[in-house]
């Protein structure tokens, strides 16, 4: 009887722990995961070493900030390397940059999430086709020069354009590489930064 009582006591704290771990693993696998921002490419809205959440079930939209597995997208990225960038172009979109403005399907994108100097410094003048030719990356269109973002792909930029290593240099992000849409928790960062990350997608 004593052994049975001891077993029940042990199980009374082991079972909740096991259940809690199972729930935590399920949440990480299917709902969200915590991500650390590495580098300055998303400044001024996300800082180096900042902790954010990536929601796996959120729909990727224009201006969504995403985290994705960069290995196999950026040739320089090692295995288990994740990037955080902002989605500018969705499948079927034409994207170009001219005089500090980004145009998607010939409509100028509101870039209120960065300053004028940040918008004009480092972005450059280009089209998808000119970027592909200049940097010799694959267009995802059976080897043809891409004039629009291919099916199942995204075109991404960092907010800090002058230092960001993004789609301009290595091409599109495959949707299967996306780990989730980034959200900044309510207790972190400033209200403006939270809006710029959490609320601009359309």
Cα-Cα-Cα-Cα torsion 183, 123, 102, 62, nearest 10 degrees, comes to -20
Q: How many Å apart are CA 75 and CA 81, to the nearest integer?
A: 11
Regarding whether 77 and 26 lie in a shared domain, the answer is: no
In degrees, rounded to 5, the angle at the alpha carbon of residue 200 between the alpha carbons of residues 75 and 179 is 35
Please pick, among 85, 153, 177, 183, the residue that the annotation labels catalytic.
85
Residue partners of 200: CB distance under 8 A and separation at least 6: 63, 112, 113
Identify the CA nearest to 93 among candidates 136, 129, 137, 147: 147
pTM of the predicted protein model: 0.84
Residues 12 and 52 in one domain: no
Query: Is 55 found in the same domain as 19?
Result: no
Is residue 41 flagged as an active site residue? yes
| Residue in the structure block whose two tokens are 């990225």 | 77
Where in the sequence is the domain holding 5, given as residue range(s)? Answer: 1-30
77 and 14 in a common domain: no
For residue range 84-137, what is the model confidence (pLDDT) as tens digits?
999 999 999 999 999 989 999 999 999 999 998 888 888 889 999 999 999 988
| φ, ψ for residue 48, nearest 5 deg | -55, 135
Q: Do 70 and 114 have their domain in common?
A: yes
Q: Is 164 helix (H, G, I), strand (E, B) or coil?
A: coil
**58 catalytic per annotation:** no
Q: Check whether residue 130 and residue 59 sit in a common domain.
A: yes
Per-residue pLDDT tens digits for 143-189: 678 899 999 999 999 999 999 999 999 999 999 999 999 998 878 77
79 shares a domain with 18: no
Tell me how many domains the chain contains.
2
d(C-alpha 67, C-alpha 150), whole Å = 19
All residues at 6 or more sequence positions from 120 whose CB lies less than 8 Å from its CB, including other chains: 99, 100
Check whether residue 194 and residue 139 sit in a common domain. yes
- CATH classification at residue 53: 2.10.109.10
Residues 80 and 97 in one domain: yes
Residue whose pair of structure tokens reads 């089209």 in the numeric block:
127
Average pLDDT over residues 62-77: 96
From the list 2, 8, 28, 41, the catalytic residue is 41
Q: In this predicted structure, which of 66-70, 76-80, 120-124 has the lowest mean pLDDT?
A: 120-124
C-alpha to C-alpha distance for 179 and 66, rounded to whole angstroms: 7
Same domain assignment for residues 17 and 64: no
- Residue 158: closest CA among 112, 202, 114: 114
Strands of 95-98's sheet in order across: 107-108, 101-104, 95-98, 126-127
Span 18-67, pLDDT tens digits: 454 444 443 444 446 888 899 999 999 999 999 998 998 899 999 999 99
Same-domain status, 147 and 175: yes
Contact 162, 119 (CB under 8 A): no
Say whether both 103 and 178 belong to one domain: yes
């Amino acid at each position: 009887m004593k052994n049975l009582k001891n077993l029940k006591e042990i199980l009374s704290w082991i079972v909740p722990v096991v259940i809690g771990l199972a729930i935590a693993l399920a949440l990480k696998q299917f709902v969200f995961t915590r991500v650390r921002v590495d580098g300055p490419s998303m400044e001024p809205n996300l800082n180096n070493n900042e902790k954010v959440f990536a929601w796996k079930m959120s729909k990727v939209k224009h201006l969504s900030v995403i985290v994705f597995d960069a290995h196999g997208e950026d040739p320089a990225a090692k295995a288990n390397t994740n990037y955080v960038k902002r989605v500018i172009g969705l499948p079927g979109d034409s994207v170009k940059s001219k005089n500090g403005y980004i145009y998607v399907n010939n409509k100028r994108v509101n870039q209120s999430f960065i300053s004028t100097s940040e918008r004009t410094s480092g972005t450059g003048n280009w089209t998808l086709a000119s970027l592909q030719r200049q940097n010799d990356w694959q267009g995802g269109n059976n080897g043809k020069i891409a004039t629009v973002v291919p099916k199942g792909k995204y075109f991404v930029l960092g907010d800090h354009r002058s230092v960001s290593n993004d789609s301009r240099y290595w091409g599109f992000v495959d949707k299967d590489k996306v780990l989730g849409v980034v959200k900044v928790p309510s207790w972190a960062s400033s209200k403006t930064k939270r809006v710029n990350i959490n609320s601009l997608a359309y």
